[in-house]
Amino acid sequence: MTRLNIEIPQKLGDALSSIAQQIHLKEEEIVCNALKAHLQDLKEDIEDYNDAMEILAQNNKTISWEEVQRKHGLLDS
């Protein structure tokens, strides 16, 4: 297990303490769960970005949103 010492704003610490008491979890568990979720979100964002960059690098023909709407009869004439 890695130990991490951080400083957080007082209001955030107070909120963490209050929530921990209300849901009967240790503050460390809440922080660890939040960090895991945030890191997973960041990982997915990075994967999405990399996928988008690969698609853009293919230089495929694109059309505008207006063209899509016109093609499918979704624009008012």
**DSSP notation for 12-49:** HHHHHHHHHHHHT--HHHHHHHHHHHHHHHHHHHHHHH
Interval 15-56: pLDDT, tens = 999 999 999 999 999 999 999 999 999 999 999 999 999 999
Q: What is the pLDDT of residue 28?
A: 96
Q: What is the pLDDT of residue 77?
A: 60
Q: What is the pLDDT of residue 24?
A: 98
Q: What is the pLDDT of residue 45?
A: 98
Q: What is the pLDDT of residue 76?
A: 78
Check pLDDT > 70 for residue 8: yes
